[in-house]
Amino acid sequence: MARYTCHQFYILFQLCLVLILIQWTIHHVNYASDRLYQRRNGAFKLHSLQQSVQVEKANHRIRKLSNNSRQSVNLITIESARRSNRDIFPVKSYFIPMVIFSSFRLHYITQLLQSLKVAAMTANLDGASPCLFVLHRNKDVSQQHIRDMQRLLNTIQFCKVYQWRVHAPNQGKRTASSFKAVWFDAVKRAFESQKFATSTSSYEDDIIFLEDDIILSPDALKVFRYGIYQKNRHNSVIAVALGGWSGENVINAHPDTFIVRRSFHFPSMAYAFNMSTWKIIKSSKFLKHRNRDWSEALGDIVNRRLGWVPYFIVPTLGRIWHIGSQGLGLRGDSSMRRHVELRAHWTKAPRLINFHSAKVNKGYRDLFGFYCGQFILKSSLCPRSYIRFPPGRRFDIICIDAGNGPEPCLRKYPYLERDFTNWIH
């Protein structure tokens, strides 16, 4: 009996060895097959481990910096370190034509070009992008002004420069009526000439229009790029702007958020639109409209032609600094004096746009960013929005209930202060 029991144990031991051998063989066959499959499908990349280490180091650095609420940092550098290669705009460079209106005011155009150069570098602007300078000459422009302007334009390398010199009518005075005519002819040249065309046909995509007495934020062209991308996805939106007439913010200002808002006036200072909007202008009686201000006349024309108040996409954080102290005013004769902000208001934000977190806030908004449902279809202002967001607050960061749920916003920042703890997500 004992001998029989030992024999049974011997057989069981052999069976266990056979089973272990079979399991070992199956495991290695599957492992080899998995490795072969992964190699064929590109799963093994030599730099994957290095990327993981770099991302972990960047995140550790961000966590370390975020704990120090008083430390000044360059968030753009940190964001670029954290950003992967998956960009929603994968092209290597950005091609966009621009039209710059100038009146030989060198103290203004010099500052605009300096900011535009930085914005072009930030957005990786294609050097072949055409820049048409509309040089509006009046009776106060001397030959020395012309030579200085030409010398300045010769230094531009971030775009391909074109010039168009226009003589002001009405005894050489710069008026709203004369600028309205210049504006119409400049837009016509931009969309119908071969200079902006990339083929034998005329240019039909978006063109950026800038006036000379503004300073752009470093990410202005990136903001234009995202705004144009969103505009072309919304049939009701006809143009993109970088802010109000003076570059004001709207409520709940944030470097990554945009709104679709209604306005009776077409945006000015810095804006972009495409051929479809130009066809509306061209087929209308724009130059014969009774309003001498081009933006008000165009807003009225679009409203009448489309049958509704037009929609525009704007960033909640304005990206233009209007430095011109003298405007054409209601009378259109350059008699108006305006207050100029001491600093650019986008410096109150801790960073600039990040494409990966950029978005358009929900709902159609009024002029100041408020949401009021169906009421906005009849007006460009929600009830009490002017009282809740008066003119004196429109260059600040105002976090307030917009009427359409919680939205990202920045708390009020001291100028040039970078404090992570003030973020609201």
The pLDDT tens digits for 61-73 are 323 333 333 232 2
Q: In this structure, what token pair is assigned to residue 400?
A: 């307030």
Cα separation, 336 vs 338, in Å, equals: 6
Q: Does residue 108 carry a pLDDT above 70?
A: yes
Predicted local distance difference test score (pLDDT) of residue 134: 93
Q: In this structure, what token pair is assigned to residue 74?
A: 């360059």
Instruction: Specify the range with the lowest mean pLDDT, choosing from 66-70, 179-183, 370-374.
Output: 66-70
255 pLDDT band (50/70/90 cuts)? Answer: very high
Cα separation, 354 vs 222, in Å, equals: 9
Q: Does residue 84 carry a pLDDT above 60?
A: no
Amino acid at 188: K
Under a CB-based contact definition with an 8 Å cutoff, are residues 255 and 226 in contact?
no
Buried b (16+ CB within 10 A) or exposed e, 29-52: eeeeeeeeeeeeeeeeeeeeeeee
Quote the pTM value: 0.74
Q: Does residue 358 carry a pLDDT above 50?
A: yes
Question: Bigger pLDDT: 114 or 38?
Answer: 114
SS3 state at 78: helix
300 is in an annotated binding site: no
213 is in an annotated binding site: yes
Q: Of 351, 362, 365, give the one whose Cα is nearest residue 422.
A: 351
Q: Chain centroid to CA 390: how far?
A: 25
Q: Are strands 257-262 and 359-365 parallel, antiparallel or unpaired?
A: parallel
What kind and span of H or E run contains 99?
A: strand 98-102
Residue owning tokens 């200072």:
269
Q: Does residue 281 carry a pLDDT above 70?
A: yes
Under a CB-based contact definition with an 8 Å cutoff, are residues 207 and 190 in contact?
yes
Q: Chain centroid to CA 278: how far?
A: 21
SS3 state at 132: strand
Q: What is the mean pLDDT of residues 328-355?
A: 72
Cα separation, 245 vs 71, in Å, equals: 34
SS3 state at 204: coil
Predicted local distance difference test score (pLDDT) of residue 327: 57
Q: In this structure, what token pair is assigned to residue 335?
A: 């008699």
Cα separation, 311 vs 197, in Å, equals: 27
Alpha-carbon torsion, ordered 353, 354, 360, 365, to 10 deg:
-20
Question: Bigger pLDDT: 303 or 14?
Answer: 303
pLDDT tens profile 41-59: 333 232 332 333 333 333 3
